[in-house]
Amino acid sequence: MPVKFEKTEIEGVVLCMPDVLRDSRGFFVETFHAAKYAAGGITCDFVQDNRSSSLKGVLRGLHYQLRKPQAKLVFCMKGEIFDVAVDIRRGSPTFGRWSAAVLSEGNQRQLFIPPGFAHGFRVLSDVAEIFYKCSAFYDQTDDRGLRWDDQDIGIVWPGETPPVLSEKDKVQPLLKDVPVEMLPEFK
């Protein structure tokens, strides 16, 4: 089963479009195949899988790990999300820029986010279940974040109502207020 890979405007962030076989019984999709994804430029060794469920309007993020940065391969198993990657690698030519994709159970698309990026998403459907593969283990002591509504980043989040945020995400700093040593380095 082929996979199409579409580069985004930020080097390293890739929209993955696996082939979906559909018939009267439902569908089948291969969500990851190491050799095929490596041929598309995604060569991570994934070590942890995560699954979350969120209600309409929930916005999670923008999150990253500093000392143990995670690459992520994100897809939406149920519902629909607006998924965002923000380049926060100090010294990167695309520092502070963002890329996004609508991921849904209908389109079966995935977003690959390299290490050194902040990640977040907003739920567009009544409920959404998100699954993502990570290249490094989650470390609570390494957990960092940025304001979802940082005007300097300028993410245009869809939605007609204010987002539902965790207490942690309500108080994250603006990118300009994060000391440079608290940002991943561009390599």
Shortest CA distance to 54 belongs to which of 21, 101, 103?
103
Q: What is the pLDDT of residues 46-86, one digit of tens each?
A: 999 999 999 999 999 999 999 999 999 999 999 999 999 99
Nearest to 106 by CA among 136, 76, 148: 76
**What's the mean pLDDT in 152-162?**
96
* The pLDDT value given to residue 145: 97
As annotated, the active-site residues are 63, 132
For the chain, how many helices (H) and strands (E)? 2, 13
Averaged pLDDT, 105-121: 97
Q: Does the pTM of the predicted model rise above 0.85?
A: yes
Give the pLDDT mean for 165-180: 97
The whole-number pLDDT of residue 1 equals 72
The span from the CA of 149 to the CA of 158, in Å, is: 12
User: Which pLDDT belongs to residue 17?
Assistant: 96
**pLDDT tens, position by position, 116-141:** 999 999 999 999 999 999 999 999 99
Round the average pLDDT of the chain to a whole number and report it.
96
Strands 48-55 and 117-123: unpaired
Q: Is a pLDDT exceeding 80 seen at residue 150?
A: yes
What's the pLDDT score for residue 187? 82
Residue 148 pLDDT > 80, yes or no?
A: yes
